[in-house]
Amino acid sequence: MTFTLIFENKKEDKELIKDVTTIQDILEGLCLSSETIIAKKNGEIVIEDEIIENGDEIQLIQILYGG
């Protein structure tokens, strides 16, 4: 059971360790605040409660200060 994580111009395959893994779990694992990140699952914006399934592509977009 794997998913693809796209973050900071890097794309890598990751193992789904828990039975139910959410976007929030991924953010906590990377020590990222949900206040600064917008997540996309298979190209569509999703909320932190969204469950990740085998083969999903998860993109994390950092919302930076400025402008």
Partner 1 sequence: MENCTKCGNPKVIIKRKQSGQSLCKECFIENIQKKTIKTIKKENLIEKGDKVMVALSGGKDSVAVLDILHTLYERRIIDLCAVTIDEGIANYREEGVEIAKNHAKRLGIEHKVVSFQDSFGITLDEIMKNPNHRGSCTYCGVFRRWIINRAARDFGASKIATGHNLDDETQAILMNYLEGNIDNLTKIGAKTESKSKLFTPKIKPLREIPEKEVGLYSLVRDLEIHFAGCPYSQTSFRGEISEIIKNLSKDHPTIMYSTLRGFDKIKSAIKNQHSNEFEFDRCQKCGEPSSNELCRACTFLEELG
Q: Does 31 bind partner 1 (CB under 8 A)?
A: no
Among 1, 47, 53, 55, binds partner 1 (CB under 8 A): 47
Closest CB to partner 1 among 13 and 44?
44
Compute, in degrees rounded to 10, the torsion defined by CA atoms 11, 41, 53, 2.
0
Which pair of structure tokens corresponds to residue 65?
């200060």
Contact predicate 5/26, CB 8 Å: yes
Contact predicate 45/39, CB 8 Å: yes
**Count of residues interacting with partner 1 (CB under 8 A):** 18
Q: Does 25 bind partner 1 (CB under 8 A)?
A: no
Q: Does 63 bind partner 1 (CB under 8 A)?
A: yes
